[in-house]
Each structure stands twice: as C-alpha cells, then as structure tokens.
Amino acid sequence: MTTAELWRQNQGRNSVAVEATGELPSGFPAHLRRRRFAGLGTVAGLALLLLALLLMAVHGVAAAHDDDPDDSEDEVRIVGVVLSAPPGADGIGIWSVAADGITYTVQVNSETKFHDDVVPGVGQRVRVDGQLLEPGLLLAHELRLESQDGSDEDDEWHGLLLSTPAGGTGQGLWVIQIGQGATLTATADANTRFDPADLSQFVPGIWVEIRGTLLPDSTVLASRIRMDEYEAGEVVVRLQPDAISSTVANRYGLVARSTLLADAHIYLLASPDDENEVSLVDLLRQDPDVVWAELNYVNSVPESEGYKTWGWGDRSDEYINQYAFEQVGLPAVSAYYTGTGILVAVLDTGVDLQHPALVDRLQLPGLDVVSGDTVPQDEGPPPGGAPGLAWGHGTHVAGIVARLAPGSRILPVRVLDANGRGNTFLLAYAIEWAVDQGADVINLSLGTPYNSQVLQEAIQAAIDRGVVVVAAAGNSNTDTPQYPAAYADVLAVTAVDGANRKASFANYGWVDLAAPGVGITSTVIGPEGHGYGSWSGTSMAAPFVSGGAALVRTKLAQPSAAPGGRAGVLAVAGRLRESARPLDAYDAQYGDKLGGLLDLEAALLEQEPVPLELRLFIPWIQR
C-alpha cells in the first residue's frame, strides 16, 4: 500500500464519528471531522465496494438511479476522473475512469447520452450512469461532466507546502508534507480553483488544503487548493439571548451542528456550500439576531526547529538534571514547593497515557475532541503509515510540566491531530471543559494568527473563574501577535537558548515572559515506544511557565487562601512577571523585548529587601 493510500486511510478514520470508549460530556461536538466526498474513502471501504460489485454482478442488484424511477435493477453510478477517452469527437469507444481508488472500464456506444451534449475530456470529473456488466466494467447510459470546484465528491488533505509549479499559473505539480517523511503530490490544471487567487501568497512553509481525487498512481488531481486558514463550510456565531439557533440557521440554509456555551448562545453552524464562507460571515453579521459571526479558524502547533531524539528508555538523567531547570531557578525551590493540589490541563496532541514518567501523574479520564472520545492518547501512525508532524508534541509538553511541578496533576486534553492541526471552536470547547473539571492552570502550546472571538470569550471566561492561562508566543521570529497568547491576562511565553539569548525562531516584543526553549529534553512517544527526546520551540517554553504558575499558586495559598477569580489569576501572573530576571545583559538586541526570564527562586523564596539606593537604578521596566 502506498504512503498516500495509508494516509488517506488514516484520514478516513479520523474524519468520521468515532465510537466513544468512554462517556462523552453533554453537548460534545458531534461533527469533529467530516468527509467531503460521496464515495467510500478507506481501504476497508474499497473492499466493501468490491464485494458489493461482485454481488451486483452475480445477483443483478444495483443502486437505484436518482433521476429515473424506471431504472433497471442493474443500474449503477460512479463519479470519478477520466484517465483516457476515445479519440473521436463523438466519444464512442472505451473510456477509463478512476473512482474511489478503482479504475473502471466504461463502454460508450451510440445509445449513450452525453448530458448537454458535452463530451468530457481526460482529467475532467464525470458522473457515469450505466449497467454493470462485470466487476470494473460498465456500459454507459449517460455521461455527465461534474463540477470541478471542490464539490462533495472530493477528498481532502492538509499539509505543509513544500513546492509549487513554476510559471505563475499554478498549473503543474504541487507537493505537500503530510507526515514525517511522507509527501503528497497533486496536479493542478486549468480547472483547479485557487484560494486566494493571488498565487504569490502560496509560499513554501505555509499550511494548505488540497481537495481532489486520489488517482491509481497515488497522486491527486486537484480541484481546489487553498491556504489552510479556516474550516471549510463552517461558521461560528453568537446569537442574541432571545434568538433560536435553528431559526437563524434555516434562514441561511445552514445546520446548527454544535453548541459551545449554552448560556452564551455560541453555536457552530455548517453550510452545504463550503465555497463562500467569508461571504456567509459578512451576511450573518448584518442579521439583528446575531451578535457576532466569524470563521472557524485553524490553530496549530507553532513551526519549530524540528524534532530530534537522543535516546529511548524508561528513564532519562538528562531529562531530570538538564541545565534548563537551573536557568529558571528550580533546584532552589523544589524542596519547598511542588504544586501539590494543583491541576494543570495540557491542551495539545494528547499525551502518552502509559509513559512511565507520566502514568502516575495523569488525571483521567481526559478528553479527545479530535476523535470524539475520552482517551486523549498522543496517537501515532496507522500500521505501515507515516507519523504525523506533531506526534509526541503533547507528551513532550506534559513532561516539562511534570518536572517543574512534580506534585501537580496533569489533565490531558487532545485538541490537535497528529499533524498538530485543530480549530478555534473545538479549542474553545476544550477550554470550557477543562475549567469545568477544576483546572487551575491551562497550557496552550499552540496558536493562530487570527483573533478569534469564540476563543477570546472562552479564555476570558476561564480567567474569570480563576484559571491561569499560559500560551506559546509562536516561532515566526516576528513581533506580530499570535493568539491566544496575545489576549489580555494570558501569560505569553517566548523562548531563550542556554545563554539566555532569544531563540532564533522566537517571537518577541509583546510577550510577558521568557523560558528555555532550545533543545529541551522531555518525555516523548515514538517508533520505539516510550522514551525521551529533545525538541525546540516556544511550545517548550510555555510549560516551564505553566509549571511555575502551579508552584506560585501553592505559594499564594499559604498561609491563607489565595484570592479567587480573576484577582487570583492576576496575583499569580503579577508575581511571575515582577520576579522575572531582566535579559538586557544577555541579549543587547532583544533583551528588553522578551519580558524577562522566568525566575522561580525570586518568585517563591523570600528575599532580603533591596536597598532603596539600588532600587533607583533598576535597568529594566515592565512593559
């Protein structure tokens, strides 16, 4: 089986509702993923299709024709791409059509009708209605040219764009990375739609979505290529208190799929037409029953320097004793504060639930909003398939929290797939769920460039209930804000290297704190099972601060109860920011743009008062 076929099998598994292995919370979003095509998509589905075709050939049983009630029982329909066609203009002869991974031989004679008298050409999508003569052989009664714009017959892939065709037309070969060591090649032709139309925006390194048909050679004939900025066919709305969601949805031909916060009247609406989401949002914003409307934006693991492993096994001295923990002053405080009684929710790709370093630290059941169950396992590839680009990311993040605050409990919540992709609606849902489970701290080593209203409201509601929210600042080496890190009262964390200089990839300028984020050793899951490995990124820096926040919450609870609600959050955040170590002396260019290095010793241990004359010359001013 080819890499592309295995990937498609894995996508198919994740793209339908998965039977829950535990009791799901009330109101759980039922859609999760959805298919964009009418045919069978998995290898198992193809086997069932072949079996059905054999039964049809033997018993004369076939699907009923949708348009003609008088069809005979052996009438079937396929939708696919023309691989070869007769040379004559009348189309009479032998055709080859690829549909659902099967190549059909289609006989066309003088009795065959071409819809609107249009004879399709090679590479075009067609619908064939006809008689099944034997498995894989059809006698065509009608050929119809189908839509080429990404309609329901298309499959879809998401990945990092590696290369585009030369020439400026977009026509030619596109290559995307869909897993570790796995690529997908797609052919764009004159019928392919590009979104945006300005092809200069398609630069290597961005995430894209490709829709089209998987051909027998495991390449894809693309019907639509777009930047992967938001979920197709979905919008998120907040309705007026007296508005009825079904009424508003029906007004625009939509379906109310899921409710985020019933008391906030926030809904996910789905459209059968997934080509005009932006126009639909503009239209909904003019409706008096709608408070706000937005796209369901994609969020993801920030791009990093890459994944590197250094060893495997049940224990790692480098994990326990690495210098990064000395950088933040952990050895000085670990005998006094461990985060006992604090629950830290890690919203990520899931966690290796059986990792020896984590198994006794997890609070289960967790939640998996990607697969739709209560087992948030950091999932690997299907048998023989390629692992996702972010496989092990959540396990790595959880390991850092566990080392910083060994007395805390970790609540694993899977909000990103193995490639590190999710969306703002499901993330907001997961935040609300984690708060309801009693989370004291939420770690978000993920982000999006889009300012999402639903995500902002979910986070502000969490902070109002006393939850400290920590988020990675992003790895684009820019001062452009990333969300949710840039939201008010969220602790935005950037990364420094072992010399306390800004990491080459780290964002800067608007952040609150800095923490180690280069070559950090932590727990991982990989091809050899449970182990330890190093990873770089602001994703690694954020859990240093989340673990630190757990320790400070323990500190503030002694000897009397800490302030609750938002005041408690501000107390924790304020102590971490005010005790941070200035970085000007380490990094002349960026030192004043990194927010100060996390310093647990200064935040947690009582220090002698600084003489007044020295306090007058503090060289760093909190922004």
What are the residue boundaries of the structural domains of the chain, listed by start? Answer: 43-65+72-145, 230-300, 307-614
Instruction: Choose the catalytic residue: 158, 355, 393, 530.
Output: 393
Look at residue 371 in the predicted model and tell me its pLDDT.
Answer: 85
Contact 479, 562 (CB under 8 A): no
pLDDT at 546 over 90: yes
Non-local (6+) Cβ contacts of 607 within 8 A are none
* Residue 393 a catalytic site member: yes
Q: Quote the CA–CA distance of 215 and 82 in Å, as a whole number.
A: 10
Nearest CA among 544, 522, 542 for reference residue 533:
522
Q: Quote the CA–CA distance of 541 and 555 in Å, as a whole number.
A: 22
* Percent above pLDDT 90 for the chain: 57
What is the DSSP annotation of 180-221?
Answer: TTEEEEEEEEEEEEEESS-GGG--TTSEEEEEEEE-TTS-EE
Non-local (6+) Cβ contacts of 233 within 8 A are 270, 271, 272, 273, 274, 277
CATH for 43-65+72-145 (3.40.50.720, 3.30.360.10, 2.40.50.140, 3.30.70.270):
2.40.50.140
pLDDT band at 116 (very low <50, low <70, confident <90, very high): confident
Q: Quote the CA–CA distance of 201 and 210 in Å, as a whole number.
A: 15
Q: Is the pLDDT higher at 588 or at 549?
A: 549
pLDDT mean over 163-189: 91
pLDDT in tens, 265-295: 899 998 877 668 888 999 999 999 999 999 9
The residues pairing with 268 across neighbouring beta strands, listed in sequence order, are 236, 258
Instruction: Give ∠ CA 158-161-166 in degrees, rounded to 5.
Output: 130
pLDDT at 227 over 70: yes
Contact 203, 209 (CB under 8 A): no
pLDDT mean over 171-179: 92
Alpha helices in 344-417 (DSSP H): 393-404
Eight-class DSSP state of 450: S
pLDDT mean over 171-187: 90
* Residue 539 a catalytic site member: yes
Q: Quote the CA–CA distance of 196 and 210 in Å, as a whole number.
A: 13
The residues pairing with 269 across neighbouring beta strands, listed in sequence order, are 235, 256
Alpha helices in 60-87 (DSSP H): none
pLDDT mean over 562-568: 81
Q: For the chain, how far is it from start to end, CA to CA, in angstroms?
A: 56
Contact 281, 235 (CB under 8 A): yes
Tokens 């996508």 -> residue: 11
pLDDT at 361 over 70: yes
Look at residue 551 in the predicted model and tell me its pLDDT.
Answer: 97
User: Residue 378, exposed/middle/buried by CB under 10 A (0-12, 13-18, 19+)?
Assistant: buried
pLDDT in tens, 502-511: 999 999 999 9
pLDDT band at 550 (very low <50, low <70, confident <90, very high): very high
Token duo for residue 35: 């298919």
Eight-class DSSP state of 593: G
pLDDT band at 528 (very low <50, low <70, confident <90, very high): confident
Contact 104, 78 (CB under 8 A): yes
pLDDT in tens, 407-446: 999 999 999 998 899 999 999 999 999 999 999 999 999 9
In words, the CATH class of domain 230-300 is alpha beta
pLDDT at 69 over 60: no
C-beta atoms surrounding 540 within 10 Å = 30
- Strand ranges across the sheet with 230-239: 255-259, 266-270, 230-239, 290-300, 421-423
Contact 444, 471 (CB under 8 A): yes
pLDDT in tens, 386-397: 788 888 999 999
* Rg of the chain over all Cα atoms, to the nearest angstrom: 27
Token duo for residue 352: 């290796």
Fold of 307-614: Rossmann fold (3.40.50)
Q: Quote the CA–CA distance of 255 and 252 in Å, as a whole number.
A: 9
What is the DSSP annotation of 545-587?
Answer: HHHHHHHHHHHHTSSSPPP-HHHHHHHHHHHHHHTPBP-TTT-
Q: Is the pLDDT higher at 119 or at 124?
A: 119
pLDDT mean over 540-562: 86
* Residue 479 a catalytic site member: no
Contact 358, 395 (CB under 8 A): yes
Eight-class DSSP state of 83: E
Eight-class DSSP state of 483: B
pLDDT band at 220 (very low <50, low <70, confident <90, very high): very high
Q: Is the pLDDT higher at 170 or at 125?
A: 170
Instruction: Choose the catalytic residue: 228, 274, 348, 440.
Output: 348
Instruction: Choose the catalytic residue: 271, 371, 534, 539.
Output: 539
Q: Is the pLDDT higher at 372 or at 46?
A: 372
pLDDT in tens, 204-214: 988 999 999 88
pLDDT at 8 over 70: no
C-beta atoms surrounding 606 within 10 Å = 5
Non-local (6+) Cβ contacts of 262 within 8 A are 27
pLDDT mean over 511-530: 90
Q: Quote the CA–CA distance of 432 and 454 in Å, as a whole number.
A: 11
Nearest CA among 208, 194, 203, 191 for reference residue 157:
208
- The backbone torsions φ and ψ at residue 144, rounded to the nearest 5 degrees and listed phi first, read -130, 130
